[in-house]
Chains A and B, each alone.
Chain A
């Protein structure tokens, strides 16, 4: 059993990290009061931008092209999310519909461009991200082989972003303002806070993080853009709910879901696991999220104003 866990642990982490960063993005958006079910589309956009950037820059920059791709995916995701921000914040649009539109636009337009560029809907990248052992730490018994061996740089980047986000949300004036906009925007407005600006920041952070999430999938385990991230954006949304809109809750939820999905993915190759039906492992995150919704129906930590448009006139 232990060898199986050691074997699949790196895969579980690789699967968790894009989920974690995307879910964290969703946290910023919802905490500011904008529901973002467009995470899936934003991930697709990030994956496309990274794939295109890397395939263009690789001949020039070599392996550094991967990092350029990640950076541009973040910028591109943030810019693309402006569509959602504008509709939700300025036009009081239904945020669920706008988010759905984001998903559909991203899915269609990226493949449209990919086809125009490569002729097929896919973009391969020549080189992904390298893995490395963390110096010294990888020698720690047990933990060393699980956590610090053969790791991706993006994993550490995402964990750093997670810690920074936690500090930002709970300890700084920005965090207090962000949360107030998601709970009671009129209170924030009365306190002189620019609700519109905060919500724009929230949505754009979600765009940047989801873009990064999509790009991380590409440069770590998939290696190819194909117009889809197979529902991971929705899984990130489920993690956000299961993690009750808290950074550390999200860390737990994404790892939990990531591990379950990884088990299902590798169950065909590892005979010991084949006995657990894949269906149960795959459907599990969504079922437990429904369970969590029932369990927390009385005490949900969901931001109270999430999904509600804000305007000055309605005092």
Chain B
């Protein structure tokens, strides 16, 4: 993983550029000036402390869903159900917040626990189905998304109906909100909330688990090679379920930061897009916790700046979503980009410049210390490869 990072960074960078280029073309096609559009877009996300606060608040759930997806990827699983996990986890936190009357330092941890358990449950079920019945987690998590959607759709009006709108819950009381006066104060009254600190802590914890712990070693091994893990005496089924539980729990936490931090109530009839954005965040961040953090903040800018751009120009706010969607597409087709980099680097090499200097740790063919063995060993590997 570590060795590949620089190349993936380049790929991510190019995917972003291509996404922005697609956005420009779209703006130009609909008769707008892309430069003007982008300048308002970025100003809208960054031009004042309040707007920076909003950007960070928008990024908060994305950090957590991105981590959720990235963690699953690292353990060989594709969690496309972060949306459903986020929704259900957020619902559980909201339910606790609307039910119990307790001082903030007591109720927030309880809500966090509820969010983690709710999201975790939505992750554990597909994990169990995968471990026990070999049901593909992509299909199972898609189904779970919609089960979550309909659960919340009927549960919110039934138990927590809002005062004015049928389609949302009651407002979260101040003592159960992640908003903190001091933090809101620093950022001039923005939506920023304690969820950001939760998200940053989650980044650190997940990075630690993946890189330094026995648990991370086990989960990654199970993800990469189920048979070898089993052979080595690991409990692979437990690893799969645990991975999905952690992944779901992270998304669930994201739900709490969304509905009890950024917003003040939970809405029904929407499968929150943050879950799918999480896939983009994870890919753009090369599936590493730190990469996820930066990618989420970048998407936060796009999301929180689009309103300002829409107010100042004729560009519809969906430009932000379009750019993100395009970035996912280009990230998925990274082979294409990598091939491009390779061609470019070859070209540079023949011109006496080496891209090796620009990408100091990129993947290169390992050299054997004994040249004569190298020839044969490489051929042998290719023969082995054929069998798979």
A and B touch in the complex (CB under 8 A): yes
- Pair B149/A231 contact, Cβ less than 8 Å: yes
Q: What is the bound-complex CA distance between A246 and B292, given in angstroms?
A: 40
- Pair B322/A279 contact, Cβ less than 8 Å: no
Stretch at the interface among A157-165, A208-216, A283-291: A283-291
Q: Which residue of B lies closest to A238 (CB)?
A: B143
Q: Which residues of B are found within 8 Å of A235, using beta-carbon distances?
A: 146
Q: What is the bound-complex CA distance between A287 and B30, given in angstroms?
A: 43
Q: Which residue of B lies closest to A115 (CB)?
A: B316
Q: What is the bound-complex CA distance between A277 and B30, given in angstroms?
A: 46
- Pair A294/B143 contact, Cβ less than 8 Å: no
- Pair B133/A279 contact, Cβ less than 8 Å: no
Nearest CB of chain B from residue A79's CB, rounded to whole Å: 15
- Pair B139/A241 contact, Cβ less than 8 Å: yes
Taking each of A93, A238, A241, which has the highest tally of chain B beta carbons within 10 Å of its own beta carbon?
A: A93
Of the residues A100, A103, A104, A283, contact of B150 by C-beta under 8 Å: A283
Q: Which residues of A are found within 8 Å of B271, using beta-carbon distances?
A: 231
Of the residues B26, B136, B142, B276, contact of A104 by C-beta under 8 Å: B276
Q: Does A258 contact B (CB under 8 A)?
A: no
- Pair B129/A93 contact, Cβ less than 8 Å: no
Q: Which residue of B lies closest to A264 (CB)?
A: B150
Find residues 305-322 in chain B having any chain A CB closer than 8 Å to their own CB: 314, 316, 318-319, 321-322
- Pair B129/A100 contact, Cβ less than 8 Å: no
Q: Does A146 contact B (CB under 8 A)?
A: no
- Pair A237/B140 contact, Cβ less than 8 Å: no
Do A113 and B30 form a contact, CB below 8 Å, given A234-B145, A282-B150?
Answer: yes
Q: Does B329 contact A (CB under 8 A)?
A: yes
Q: Does B138 contact A (CB under 8 A)?
A: yes
Q: Does B386 contact A (CB under 8 A)?
A: yes
Q: Does B134 contact A (CB under 8 A)?
A: yes
Q: Which residues of A are found within 8 Å of B149, using beta-carbon distances?
A: 231
Nearest CB of chain B from residue A177's CB, rounded to whole Å: 25
Q: Which residue of B lies closest to A35 (CB)?
A: B138
Do A91 and B135 form a contact, CB below 8 Å, given A104-B324, A279-B153?
Answer: no
Q: Does B279 contact A (CB under 8 A)?
A: yes
Q: Which residue of A lies closest to B133 (CB)?
A: A297
Q: What is the bound-complex CA distance between A104 and B146, given in angstroms?
A: 17
- Pair B150/A279 contact, Cβ less than 8 Å: yes
- Pair A116/B80 contact, Cβ less than 8 Å: no
Please, what's the 1-or-0 string for B78-105, where 1 marks a CB less than 8 Å from any CB in chain A? Answer: 1010000000000000000000000000
Do A290 and B318 form a contact, CB below 8 Å, given A97-B283, A97-B328, A231-B271?
Answer: no
Nearest CB of chain A from residue B276's CB, rounded to whole Å: 6
- Pair A111/B151 contact, Cβ less than 8 Å: no
Q: What is the bound-complex CA distance between A111 and B142, given in angstroms?
A: 24
- Pair B321/A107 contact, Cβ less than 8 Å: yes
- Pair B321/A289 contact, Cβ less than 8 Å: no
Nearest CB of chain A from residue B286's CB, rounded to whole Å: 14
Taking each of B129, B138, B314, which has the highest tally of chain A beta carbons within 10 Å of its own beta carbon?
A: B138
Q: Does B204 contact A (CB under 8 A)?
A: no
Q: Which residues of B are found within 8 Å of A37, using beta-carbon distances?
A: 80, 138, 142
Q: Which residues of B are found within 8 Å of A105, using beta-carbon distances?
A: 322, 325-326, 329
Q: Does B235 contact A (CB under 8 A)?
A: no
Find residues 83-102 in chain A having any chain B CB closer than 8 Å to their own CB: 83, 86-87, 91-94, 96-98, 100-102
Do A104 and B332 form a contact, CB below 8 Å, given A97-B279, A112-B318?
Answer: no
Of the residues B80, B139, B154, B314, contact of A100 by C-beta under 8 Å: B80
Q: Which residue of A lies closest to B145 (CB)?
A: A234
Nearest CB of chain A from residue B142's CB, rounded to whole Å: 6
Q: Which residues of B are found within 8 Å of A101, using beta-carbon distances?
A: 325-326, 328-329, 332
Q: Which residue of A lies closest to B314 (CB)?
A: A116
Q: Which residues of A are found within 8 Å of B321, using beta-carbon distances?
A: 104, 107-108
Q: What is the bound-complex CA distance between A307 and B372, given in angstroms?
A: 40
Of the residues B144, B318, B334, contact of A115 by C-beta under 8 Å: B318
Q: Which residues of B are found within 8 Å of A289, using beta-carbon distances?
A: 139, 143
- Pair B154/A279 contact, Cβ less than 8 Å: yes
- Pair A231/B146 contact, Cβ less than 8 Å: yes
- Pair A277/B154 contact, Cβ less than 8 Å: yes
Q: Which residues of B are found within 8 Å of A100, using beta-carbon distances?
A: 80, 276, 279, 328
Q: Which residues of A are found within 8 Å of B30, using beta-carbon distances?
A: 112-113, 116
Q: Does B147 contact A (CB under 8 A)?
A: yes
Find residues 1-50 in chain B having any chain A CB closer than 8 Å to their own CB: 26, 30
Q: Which residue of A lies closest to B134 (CB)?
A: A297
Q: Which residues of B are found within 8 Å of A104, using beta-carbon distances?
A: 273, 276, 280, 321, 324-325, 328
Q: Which residue of B lies closest to A241 (CB)?
A: B139
Nearest CB of chain A from residue B369's CB, rounded to whole Å: 29
Q: Does B217 contact A (CB under 8 A)?
A: no
Q: Does B331 contact A (CB under 8 A)?
A: yes
- Pair B318/A279 contact, Cβ less than 8 Å: no
Q: What is the bound-complex CA distance between A282 and B150, given in angstroms?
A: 7
Q: Does A109 contact B (CB under 8 A)?
A: yes
Q: Which residues of B are found within 8 Å of A113, using beta-carbon distances?
A: 30
Of the residues B26, B133, B155, B318, contact of A294 by C-beta under 8 Å: B133
Of the residues A109, A241, A286, contact of B322 by C-beta under 8 Å: A109
Question: 14 extra interchain contacts, Cβ-Cβ under 8 A, other than A87-B329, A113-B30, A238-B142?
Answer: A91-B335, A93-B334, A97-B332, A101-B332, A103-B276, A108-B322, A112-B30, A112-B318, A112-B319, A115-B316, A237-B142, A277-B154, A290-B144, A293-B135
A-B contact pairs, 29 of them (CB 8 A): A37-B142, A86-B333, A91-B335, A94-B332, A97-B283, A97-B331, A97-B332, A100-B276, A104-B280, A104-B321, A104-B324, A108-B319, A112-B316, A113-B30, A115-B316, A121-B318, A234-B142, A237-B139, A238-B143, A277-B154, A286-B146, A286-B147, A287-B143, A290-B135, A293-B135, A293-B140, A294-B133, A297-B134, A315-B386
